Amino acid sequence: MNISEDELEQRLRALFADERLDLPPPPDAGTVIVTGARRRRRRRHVVQAVTGVAAAVVVVAGGLNVFRLHTEDGTAAMSPPGTGVSVKPPENLTAGRPPEPSTPGPTGTQSIQASAPPGASTSRPPRPSSTPRPSTLPSVATGPLLAADGFGKLKLGMSEAEVTAQAVVLSDPQAGASCTVYKAQGRGVPAAASVVISKAAGLVVVTPDVATHTAEGIGASATKDQILAAYPAAKEESGDVVAPAGTAAEYRFRLGETGVVQTSLSSRTQDCAG
């Protein structure tokens, strides 16, 4: 059966206008609506509160995880989320174990000695002597040179005639049994000196009147240590120090309060008093 659109519209209008389709609201409809609205509002507040608590729990848990990871190696800094403060944990901080108390290091000489292993020697090493070794003493080179074979043109073993032939004037003779003591001066000697000439051995002793020095650097004011350093074979004789001068002669150093005060050269083979 075909129904036109106008007829269909009329039927629908008549159906909707039928009073039998109306449903009157119950008497407590307003109270029910208000109660339901309040219930929904409370549920919404509870959901919001639960959501906030859950978010806080997540943040705290994340912070604890970061703290645990950082403290495993004992070196990373702890920085809670949302803060700019960094705190470095103790080096001995481990999970479930409190930090161990630090032990102060040794201070002072008492602690250092206490930390020495058993049986170790605690005596101090001997201090080096402040006195320099004789070999390091400076040399003395004052006045003319008194060589190991003579003084100027005077040479050990020369006869009286050979001495005077060297432009040396001999004066003030003091004759003895076999030897004569003279005062020698002139162009042949650097300075005046006392000499002893033997009739058999010639010139055997030369003692300059001025300060002289040897080729080894021993002269006026030289100390005994300096003499022994320069002449290891030297020895003491009657308060003097006698040192070898080559193979045929020797030096005699007379010492005073200031060191060497006189030096003489003499032949080892002679028949005169030294």
Point out the least confidently predicted range of 44-48, 209-213, 251-255.
44-48
Q: What percent of the chain has pLDDT over 90?
A: 43
Smallest Cα–Cα separation from 154: which of 200, 188, 194, 198? 188
Q: CA–CA separation, 142 vs 222, rounded Å?
A: 10
Residue 141: strand, helix, or coil: coil
Backbone phi and psi for residue 233, each to the nearest 5 degrees, phi listed first: -90, 5
Q: CA–CA separation, 51 vs 10, rounded Å?
A: 55
pLDDT at 195 over 50: yes
pLDDT band, very low/low/confident/very high, at 43 (cuts 50, 70, 90):
confident
Smallest Cα–Cα separation from 245: which of 161, 149, 169? 149
Instruction: Between 54 and 79, name the one with better pLDDT.
Output: 54
pLDDT at 83 over 90: no
Q: CA–CA separation, 205 vs 220, rounded Å?
A: 19
Sequence-separated (6 or more) residues with CB below 8 Å from residue 184: 154, 163, 168, 169, 170, 192, 193, 194, 195, 206
Instruction: Between 185 and 13, name the one with better pLDDT.
Output: 185
CA distances from 87 to 75, 78, 79, 90, 254 (A): 10, 5, 7, 9, 83
* Across 233-259, average pLDDT: 93
pLDDT recorded at residue 238: 87
* Across 180-209, average pLDDT: 96
Q: CA–CA separation, 255 vs 8, rounded Å?
A: 161
pLDDT recorded at residue 67: 47
Mean of pLDDT over the chain: 77
Sign, CA torsion 217/218/219/223 = positive
pLDDT recorded at residue 219: 93
Q: Name the DSSP class of 135.
A: G
Sequence-separated (6 or more) residues with CB below 8 Å from residue 217: 138, 139, 140, 141, 226, 230
Q: What percent of the chain has pLDDT over 70?
A: 61
CA distances from 158 to 19, 95, 141, 206, 233 (A): 179, 105, 27, 12, 27
Amino acid at residue number 5: E
pLDDT recorded at residue 260: 94
